[in-house]
Chains A and B, each alone.
Chain A
Amino acid sequence: MNPRLIATVVGLRLRRVAADRANLIWLILMPLVFSYLMGMLMGNWSATGSASKPTFIVFGLEPATEAVTALLAPLADHPDFELVRRDTTATPERARSLLEDRVVAGALLVGPGFADSLRAGLAPTLDFYHDSDRTSSQRVRQALEAAYAATAVRATVQSLVDPAAAPEDPGKAAAFDAATYDSLVAHPRVRLAVTSLGRNRTADLTLTLTDSRQHSGPSYTLMFILMFLLMSAKDLVLERRQRTLDRLRLAWPTTADLVAGFFLAGMVVGLLQAALLLGFNAVLFRLDYGPSPACLALVVVLFVAVSSAAGLLLGTLSRTGGQADGLGMVFGLALPALGGLWWPLEIVPDVMQRIGRSLPTGQAITVFHDMIGRGWGLAETAPMLWGLAAWLAILLGLAVYFFRREIRG
């Protein structure tokens, strides 16, 4: 294959997409409008995830120092979960056991000397175990991190302004300044090590998202990527009808170059669209896509690749622009509807959940839900990612086969 010729074909496609201003409506504007409106329509889900709040246990508490009291105060009244017990004897093994037996949804281990470490200006690490099948790690993490930040900053500031609180360095009070304070607020010294234990997907999983925009943001991004690339199938039909495809075949690119060029052009358009839309959603609606950038990147790349391959296959099989448009519309609406892009799969019957998660749309949005709501990464979402990879292999294989068959005449 010749990368230069492939890049030329990709460049042409990008130029043509950019030249048509109507494309901006379908690439950017409509997905954002849909994300926003559907997010507003579906509202806040934090109170509807389950009838009762998930329960959390805090282990290994040292005597109730001021720091510990401050740490737990915001957690005790949290609207999304309930703090039910304190236990000074537990171990990490005990925490795991309680989670596996589904006695609690999360367990926090506060090691001995926590308050002293804070006062000494050290950076203590707390271990948090949670069952990601039952609750959103993001929701808990945000609450815990806010509480830790407040606690850590309070303790550190105390040590700075009160030399008696930092006996190892009585001169610290003189060093306090606004910049140091800001730095401490921005980078709290308490670190939280999160371990997710729930990894078994079942059809009756609870929806762990707290806000409908956590669904509508990625789902309408995925839907419009798929629709745009499926509707682009018509371009290939027009290339064939206007004989530009013949002219391309007569030039230097091989069949493999042309297939790669068309496929990669779709990928570049889709990836740009995904980057813009997911970026806008993150900024405008404060969406957090979870702790694994690698997982986010992989699911986006795989879904865009599947969509591009589907568009190429549709363009190769369609004989007329009308066929390509019609089939593109049918698949562009049916796959999102069945795959849980219009509404979460968690609220549809089991059989429809299974059908939805066998489709690329269902697989991709499930990965997004798991990243956002459960804090899962590559290992936990692997089954869905492999599903997307399988779709990619099938669709791209068929597209290449039919494209080559057509070119051979």
Chain B
Amino acid sequence: MIEVHELVKTYGAKVAVNRLSFAVAEGELFGLLGPNGAGKTTTISVLSTLLPASGGRAVVAGCDVARDPQGVRERIGVVPQEIALYEDLSARDNLLFWGRLYGLGGPDLKRRVEEMLEAVELAEHARQRVGSFSGGMKRRLNLAAGLMHGPQVLFLDEPTVGIDAQARKKILDLIRRLNADGLTILYTTHYLEEAEQLCHRIGVIDRGELAALGDKEDLIRQIGDEDTIRFDLPESLLPEFAEAAARWPGAGAVSHARGLAQLRAADGARILPEIQSWLAARGQSLAHLEVERPNLETLYLNLTGRALRE
């Protein structure tokens, strides 16, 4: 449903998207995960025809974004990160307006507006001015406005930014329902847990480049299915510790960082008693212990050297 091949977008000398390639299947919920400024919004802007690409090719719902932008626009819905609504109008009037701009009219338009208000649980607030809505209500209406014309593909650009946990849950549930009904969704976020919970596949993007791509398990496999164990250890004891660890079944590489020894192990829990015994034999106690399961944050740190929330 979405095919992106070697996509490039530059602003003068600055490269915002650099040779990005990925594909999204029909009915898939695909996540683009990356920190602020990684190029997620630019990618959506190019795919939705708001910005022209500087290079590469993209096809959305069978239409080339460069050659047939009108065809793309007719088939997509876009929910921008900002609340792109008229706050001085009511929720219903906003949806009526956006519906008319997509060629809807008469009873069809009215029916669609009521359907959308129901879907985003705002029917009771239909006559209320959007300016008086909470952040979560505005986000839901923002989403409804992007769905008015029944698009085949939905671009969601960080739709949960700045709202509380309850409002976020409502939006995520709604997105799941839309996807379950067959809607293809490209979802950008810098919230790792959202990408993990929601998306079938995830593309990790940083500085405009795709750093990794796959489902959650694929991605974790890329950093190896090993736990990382960290604990207090004087650097002088590290060679002796490495020698001992090499004899333990399932133990991997040993390193030292930030005053802590770091051991990779297939199963961290099983190797902990060995470490404790080794330390006790040398009059040391097990202090500042951290056992980290492989996760996307680790992957992201490994790939980019940057934390997602930066």
Q: Which residues of A contact B (CB under 8 A)?
A: 4-5, 8-9, 12, 15-16, 19-20, 241-244, 246-253, 408-409
Contacts and interface: CB of A to CB of B under 8 A. Distances in A.
B252 interface: no
Contact of A242 (B73, B74, B84): B84
Given A20-B88, A251-B102, 14 more contacts: A4-B105, A12-B97, A15-B93, A242-B82, A242-B85, A244-B84, A246-B50, A246-B80, A247-B98, A247-B145, A250-B78, A251-B101, A252-B103, A408-B52
Contacts of B97: 8, 12
A253 B105 CA distance: 15
Contacts of B78: 246-247, 250
A1 to B, nearest CB: 14
Interface in B47-73: 48-52, 73
Contacts of A12: 86, 97
B125 interface: no
A77 to B, nearest CB: 60
Contacts of B73: 250-252
Contact of A252 (B48, B51, B93, B102): B102
Given A8-B97, A253-B101, A246 B86 contact: no
Grouping DSSP codes into helix (H, G, I), strand (E, B) and loop, the B interface class, with mixed when no group exceeds half, is loop
B100 interface: yes
A19 B89 CA distance: 8
5 nearest A-B residue pairs (beta carbon) = A251-B101, A243-B84, A243-B82, A409-B51, A247-B84
B65 to A, nearest CB: 12
Contacts of A250: 48-50, 73, 76, 78
B83 interface: yes
The residue among A15, A247, A249, A250 with the most chain B CB atoms within 10 A of its own CB is A250
A72 B170 CA distance: 88
Given A19-B88, A19-B89, A252-B73, A243 B100 contact: no
B13 to A, nearest CB: 17
A248 B101 contact: yes
Contacts of A19: 88-89
Contacts of B86: 12, 16, 244
Interface string B203-237: 00000000000000000000000000000000000
A104 B94 CA distance: 66
Interface in B125-144: none
Contacts, number: 62
Interface of B: 48-52, 73-74, 76, 78, 80-86, 88-89, 93, 97-98, 100-103, 105, 145
Q: Do most interface residues of chain A lie in helix, strand or loop, or is the interface mixed?
A: helix
B71 to A, nearest CB: 12
Most buried by B among A16, A247, A253: A247
A243 B74 contact: no
14 contacts: A4-B100, A8-B101, A12-B86, A16-B89, A19-B89, A242-B82, A242-B85, A243-B80, A244-B84, A244-B85, A246-B84, A250-B73, A251-B73, A253-B101
Contacts of A8: 97, 100-101
A243 B83 CA distance: 8
Contacts of B52: 408-409
Contacts of A242: 82-85
A239 B16 CA distance: 24
Nearest to A241: B82
Contacts of A9: 101
B82 A252 contact: no
A247 B80 contact: yes
Contacts of A251: 73, 98, 101-102
A74 B157 CA distance: 80
A184 B80 CA distance: 71
Contacts of A20: 88
Contacts of B145: 247
B254 to A, nearest CB: 51
A252 B48 CA distance: 13
Nearest to A19: B88
B101 A5 contact: yes
Name which of B85, B100, B101, B105 has the most chain A CB atoms within 10 A of its CB.
B101
A19 B90 CA distance: 11
A246 B46 CA distance: 12
Contacts of B100: 4-5, 8
Nearest to A7: B100
Contacts of B48: 250
A384 to B, nearest CB: 39
Contacts of A246: 50, 78, 80, 84
Contacts of A247: 78, 80, 84, 98, 145
Contact of B89 (A15, A243, A253): A15
A248 B84 CA distance: 10
A241 B80 CA distance: 12
